[in-house]
Amino acid sequence: MGLKTVFIIAVTTARMIFPGLSALTPVEPKPAEEPVTAMRSVMFDLASEQSITQPQASVTLPEGLMLGKSAKLQTSVVTPPSKPSTEPAQGEETKVLMKTYWGSSETVQPKQPSVKQDTSADAAAVAPALSGRNYRILAQWPGIQSDYGTVMIKPEASAVGTYTLSSNFTTATSATVDPEQDFLAPVIISGIDKSVDPDKPISVQWKSIPNALAYLVVAYGGNAKESITWTAGAEAGASLDIESWAMTREQVTKYIEDKVLLPADATNCIIPAKIFKGSTGAMLSITAIGTDKIQENNGLETQIIVRSMASIPLFSTKYKKAEEPFPAAPK
């Protein structure tokens, strides 16, 4: 197998919601006909097993994106990891109890939760979609420059069009975002407010999203000693990081059949009562899976990943006042 390069185009719609407060969405004012504001973004990730000391890469942008003619990626050369030390770590290991629940029901089902101890100190340095290979060059846009996370995409803009990658360490390639891969509508969650009681079943509803193929619904919480994760799917832990991977329609269909993802016509589920008992807080995340595209040519794989996601706090024991049930939005 030759040296591989992966080029990822992520077309994303995102919302961070705090009940009683405005959604955390640093975008331009929405038009009057758009009832929900969301942050829309196009991001590029490039990873290569090639080796070069001064990598350079850029992507030409379609006119409809309204962000100029091209984007210069921020590149970095990855230093191969040194041989792991066999010496024991200094001090006492921090052990966190990992509890996993799954399935939509009012009560916890038999043989749950799945429990294990996590003592790992370091997380993976690359995104899940880029893990598993010995990449020597990484590149991103917008990257970590001063305007990271604040690239405004106008409400009338579209991600549809052709994106052409050029670099000095891999062959040029083009990928086209089709109309069915344009920005998905925002995820609109209902049924969650400041009165959520973790000791009772939590009913979650959302509005169906056109062009969404499936949904991933996850809630997570815990405290200093344990981490708790719940997914609406019927498989324990099977949906870990799945929202970060490009998937074919056939793969999405198989995940729905295996009850890892919820089908496109799903609009509700139930978080079992008491799974977050003892937690200092919990969050809910809903991700709509769009129509991804995967293509490969001469060792260069291109992935177009289409997602719409929203996150909302379920409760927090640190903010008990009715007028401020959750942390205030950062300024």
The answer to whether 189 and 286 are in contact (CB under 8 A) is: yes
**317/280 Cα distance (integer angstroms):** 5
Instruction: DSSP letter for 67, please.
Output: S
- Considering the domain boundaries, does residue 325 fall inside one? no
**Percent helix, percent strand, percent coil in the chain, to nearest 5:** 5, 35, 55
Checking if the pLDDT of 216 tops 90, the result is yes
Residue 329 maps to a domain = no
326, part of any domain: no
What is the span of the domain harbouring residue 187?
5-80+94-316
282: closest CA among 323, 211, 229?
A: 229
For 69-105, how does the pLDDT look when each residue is reduced to its tens digit (9 = 90+)? 999 999 999 876 555 555 545 555 567 899 999 999 9
Longest dimension (CA), the chain: 62
The pLDDT of residue 27 is 38
Q: Report residue 325's pLDDT band, with 50, 70 and 90 as the boundaries.
A: very low
- Compute the chain's Rg from CA coordinates: 21
| Residue 331, domain member (yes or no) | no
Domain presence at residue 323: no
| pLDDT at residue 34, as a whole number | 43
Give yes or no for a contact between 118 and 222, defined as CB atoms under 8 angstroms apart: no
Are the beta carbons of 18 and 281 closer than 8 angstroms?
A: no
Instruction: Give the strand pairing for 293-297 and 74-77.
Output: unpaired
Instruction: Classify residue 165: in a domain, yes or no.
Output: yes
Is position 324 within any domain?
no
The chain-wide mean pLDDT, for the chain, equals: 82
Amino acid at 275: I
- Average pLDDT value for residue range 297-303: 87
187 vs 85, which has greater pLDDT? 187
pTM for the model stands at: 0.84
Residue 76's SS3 state is: strand
Residue 282 lies in a domain: yes
SS3 assignment, position 32: coil
Q: Determine the Cα–Cα distance for residues 237 and 131; give it in Å rounded to an integer.
A: 18
Task: Answer whether 134's CB lies under 8 Å from 153's CB.
Answer: no
Both ends of the chain: CA-CA distance in Å? 49
Q: Please tell me the total count of domains within the chain.
A: 1
pLDDT > 80? residue 25 = no
Can you point out the beta strands (E) in 85-160?
Answer: 96-102, 114-118, 137-141
Best-predicted range by mean pLDDT (232-236, 312-316, 317-321):
312-316
Q: Is the pLDDT of residue 320 over 90?
A: no
Residue 22: predicted pLDDT: 43
pLDDT confidence tier of residue 270, bands split at 50, 70 and 90: very high
- Is residue 62 classed as helix, strand or coil in its secondary structure? coil
The SS3 assignment for 181 reads helix
How much is the average pLDDT of 15-26?
A: 55
Tell whether the model's pLDDT for residue 50 goes beyond 50.
yes
